[in-house]
Amino acid sequence: MSASRPRFSLSVHLYLLTFVLLLACLPVILLFPAGWATIRPARWLIALAWFALLAVLWRYVDGRCSSDRMRYRDGLLWVTASMMTGWVNLSFLIAFPVLLFVFVRSVLFAMVGDMRRSPRYSQDRWLGMVRYFYRNRMMQ
Quick one: pLDDT at residue 47?
84
Under 8 Å CB-to-CB from 122, ≥6 apart: which residues?
64, 65, 109, 110, 112, 113, 114
- For the chain (length 140 residues), average pLDDT per consecutive 10? 72 94 87 68 84 95 94 95 85 91 97 93 96 83
Task: Enter the pTM of the model.
Answer: 0.86
Quick one: pLDDT at residue 10?
92
Quick one: pLDDT at residue 28?
80
Quick one: pLDDT at residue 3?
54
Quick one: pLDDT at residue 87?
84
Helix (H) or strand (E) holding 125: helix 119-135
Q: Could you give the angle at the alpha carbon of 119 between the alpha carbons of 98 and 107, nearest 5°?
A: 30
Question: What are the boundaries of each domain within the chain?
Answer: 10-135
Give Cα separations from 25 to 18, 54, 55 (angstroms). 10, 10, 12
